[in-house]
């Protein structure tokens, strides 16, 4: 039972990181119908930017201000990169066949990944362990660290905030309208280009926070880790039904839990295989993901 609860906590922690990153995939997909393969590399870049902000700007001393500055600066930098990415690699292909934009995204992913390598080098970098105090609590045999608590609480707050932003505000309504029908949204006076920019800012910011969490939680970061985490987050988005915001949250949490239990009870060397078998199984039964809508095909 202890193992069960422990893996539950670990799974929820990993799952909320997946969910944060998955939101970036799903929001871009919702409006542009594009798989943004470069998103995972933005996440990786964010961990490196965060580390550099810590050592270069904050002088390598841990404090609450240091953490706040790291998060704020990294989010701004990565959001800016996300907006540039959309301008350079995706906007010129808005009317092109869908797969050309996918290959452009793959190219952008190579650029970011190798850009990280050129700036920070090919070797693994390590996040300092004392950035977040290494406090742990033992709740009835289950060990929870401060970092896990931070990740869980902050992800929860962000996701609820996003949900209300998309559901209740004017810009949120414009985002939903653009994802249903871009042309109709334009006719209603919505500036779709601006909406896409907003989406890239939000998606990249959430990805940046996810990347910092990955750095803080796993500590070791490499230039090519974007593909690994990005793929998992993308699977989470598909699992929940891509384009669907609550779906991405649900998909992320489910994937994190599934992964933690497989690693805990079966074997970590088979974790990827089992994860994808589960995904394929779910897609065979529900072809558009768990919360995805069944779209009637237009003739």
Partner 1 sequence: MNKLSRFGYMAFFLVVLVLPALLDSRWLTVGTTFLIFSVVALSEDIVLGKAGMFNMGHALFFGLGAYTTAILNANFGWPILATLPLAVIIPMIFGVLIAGPIVHLRGDYLLVTTIGFNIVFVQAVQNDLLGITGGPNGIFSLDSMNVFGKALDSPTAIYYFAFVVLILTLWVMRNLETSKAGRALHYLREDHIAAESIGINTRVYKIFAFALGSGLAGLAGSVYAVQYAAVSPEAFNFMQSVLFFSIIIVGGSSIPGVLIGVLVMFVLPEVFREFATWRYFIFGFAMILAMILRPRGIWPAKFGRIPKYLTGGAENG
Residues that bind partner 1 (CB under 8 A): 29, 35, 88-89, 92-93, 96-104, 106-115, 117-118, 227, 231, 234-235, 238, 242, 269-270, 272-273, 276-277, 279-280, 283-284, 287-289, 297, 299
Shortest Cβ 112–partner 1 spacing (Å) = 8
Sort 99 into a burial class: Cβ within 10 Å, 0-12 / 13-18 / 19+: exposed
Based on CB atoms, which residue is closest to partner 1, 173 or 231?
A: 231
Note whether 52 and 40 are within 8 A (CB): no
Shortest Cβ 35–partner 1 spacing (Å) = 6
Based on CB atoms, which residue is closest to partner 1, 100 or 169?
A: 100
Helix (H, G, I), strand (E, B) or coil at 219: coil
Based on CB atoms, which residue is closest to partner 1, 141 or 281?
A: 281
Please name every residue paired with 137 in a beta bridge, in sequence order, or none if there are none: 144
H or E element at residue 280: helix 271-285
Based on CB atoms, which residue is closest to partner 1, 204 or 275?
A: 275
Outline where 53-191 has alpha helix (H).
Answer: 64-85, 98-120, 146-168, 170-180, 182-187
| Block residue for tokens 């078998």 | 277
Sequence-distant (6+) residues with CB within 8 A of 102 are: 34, 35, 37
Based on CB atoms, which residue is closest to partner 1, 48 or 217?
A: 48
Q: How many angstroms separate the CA atoms of 175 and 144, rounded? A: 37
Shortest Cβ 270–partner 1 spacing (Å) = 6
Q: How many angstroms separate the CA atoms of 11 and 146, rounded? A: 16
Shortest Cβ 299–partner 1 spacing (Å) = 5
Shortest Cβ 107–partner 1 spacing (Å) = 3
Shortest Cβ 64–partner 1 spacing (Å) = 37
Based on CB atoms, which residue is closest to partner 1, 116 or 212?
A: 116
Shortest Cβ 186–partner 1 spacing (Å) = 17
Cα separation of the two ends of the chain: 54
Based on CB atoms, which residue is closest to partner 1, 59 or 287?
A: 287
Q: How many angstroms separate the CA atoms of 196 and 174, rounded? A: 10
Of 7, 78, 66, nearest to 226 by C-alpha is: 78
């Amino acid at each position: 039972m202890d193992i069960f609860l422990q893996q539950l906590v670990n799974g929820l922690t990993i799952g909320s990181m997946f969910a944060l990153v998955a939101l970036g995939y799903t929001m871009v997909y919702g409006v542009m119908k594009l798989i943004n393969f470069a998103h995972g590399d933005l996440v990786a870049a964010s961990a490196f930017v965060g580390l550099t902000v810590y050592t270069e700007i904050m002088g390598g001393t841990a404090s609450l201000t240091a953490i706040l500055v790291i998060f704020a600066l990294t989010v701004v930098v990565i959001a800016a990169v996300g907006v540039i990415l959309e301008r350079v690699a995706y906007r010129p292909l808005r009317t092109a066949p869908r797969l050309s934009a996918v290959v452009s995204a793959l190219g952008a992913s190579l650029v970011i990944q190798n850009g990280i390598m050129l700036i920070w080098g090919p070797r693994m970098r390590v996040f300092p362990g004392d950035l977040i105090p290494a406090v742990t609590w033992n709740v009835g045999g289950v060990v929870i660290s401060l970092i896990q608590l931070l990740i869980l609480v902050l992800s929860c707050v962000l996701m609820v905030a996003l949900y209300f932003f998309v559901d209740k505000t004017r810009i949120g309504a414009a985002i939903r309208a653009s994802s249903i029908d871009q042309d109709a949204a334009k006719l209603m006076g919505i500036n779709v280009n601006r909406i896409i920019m907003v989406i890239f800012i939000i998606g990249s910011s959430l990805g940046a926070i996810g990347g910092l969490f990955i750095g803080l939680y796993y500590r070791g970061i490499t230039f090519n880790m974007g593909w690994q985490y990005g793929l998992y987050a993308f699977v989470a988005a598909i699992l929940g039904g891509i384009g669907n915001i609550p779906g991405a949250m649900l998909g992320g949490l489910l994937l994190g839990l599934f992964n933690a239990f497989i690693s805990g009870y079966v074997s970590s060397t088979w974790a990827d295989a089992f994860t994808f078998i589960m995904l394929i199984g779910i897609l065979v039964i529900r072809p558009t993901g768990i919360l995805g809508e069944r779209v009637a095909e237009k003739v």
